[in-house]
Amino acid sequence: MKDRLVERRGRRSTSSRSSCRPGVLRIRARDSAVHPSGGSDDDRRKFSDAAQVHSSTGACPTLALHVQWDLPNGLKDVGEVERLSQKFGVRPGSINPNIFQNQEYKYGSLGNPDPAIRKTALRHILDCVGIAEALHCRDVAPWFADGSNYPGTQNMRQRIAYFEEGLREIHRSLKSGQRLLIEYKPFEPAFLSHGHCGLGHGLSAGERGGAASVCAG
């Protein structure tokens, strides 16, 4: 644990921060979107808005990107993102996989009881590691929506084992200097139990996964 870095999102710091992507565009939910007036609806406007935030604060030189929304074609979109980054002077920040929006993730992603869906989720996260490498981004930041609302509906011990198996493979794929940020939120989206149970589970997975592990609250 002494060589691990635990980073809690939202804690005040003197370091620079990344502009939060949902804060400058439409508001997304698991299977729908809210379109506020004036919200950015393409990558150009997102980078433009992020540049405005940075010009006003001087503290947000990067823009967090969500792969399914901001790089829908995966690696094919890297060139356009790099062009926008150079034009607006805002670097790509954390790369966020989407392992919650599609209906196949109704019963989870890395903790899903269906091995085919676990494989799909893992492949997507590994693709995101490759995108992060191409964009020279340090952090890959998945949010896991796995969880349950009612007693007896899921095998929690098995689900944790599935998570540890998947996280180990992701850790092995990280390139030098990359980090895996594991995001979790109390009671979102499940109220009884979470697929990724919190800071303790994150630290445990990090210890087993390797020195590149980072937990994010």
Alpha-carbon gap, residue 181 to 217, rounded angstroms: 9
Nearest to 1 by CA among 216, 208, 217: 208
Does residue 204 form part of some domain? yes
Does residue 25 form part of some domain? no
Per DSSP, the three-state class of 17 is: coil
- CATH assignment of the domain containing 163: 3.20.20.150
- Residue 208 domain boundaries: 5-10+62-216
Whether the pLDDT of residue 110 is over 80: the answer is yes
- Indicate the residue type of 215: C
- Between 115-134 and 156-173, two packed helices, what is the crossing angle to 10 degrees? 30
Show the tokens assigned to 212.
């590149």
Does residue 51 form part of some domain? no
Does residue 39 form part of some domain? no
Does residue 206 form part of some domain? yes
CB 74 within 8 A of CB 67: yes
Q: Is the pTM of this model over 0.85?
A: no
The pLDDT value given to residue 133: 97
Does residue 107 form part of some domain? yes
Does residue 50 form part of some domain? no
Contacts of 137 (CB under 8 A, 6+ apart): 65, 92, 93, 94, 95, 131, 178
Domain count, the chain: 1
What is the overall mean pLDDT for the chain? 79
- Between 43-57 and 78-88, two packed helices, what is the crossing angle to 10 degrees? 30
Percentage of residues in the chain with pLDDT exceeding 70? Answer: 69
Backbone angles phi, psi at 85, to 5 degrees: -60, -45
Does residue 33 form part of some domain? no
22-51 per-position pLDDT tens digit: 445 444 444 445 555 554 557 888 999 999
3-state SS of 23-50 is HHECEECCCCEECCCCCECCHHHHHHHH
Which of 38-52, 89-103, 128-142, 188-202 is least confident? 188-202
Burial group, residue 108, by CB count within 10 angstroms (0-12, 13-18, 19+): buried
Torsion of CA 109, 7, 28, 87, to 10 degrees: -120
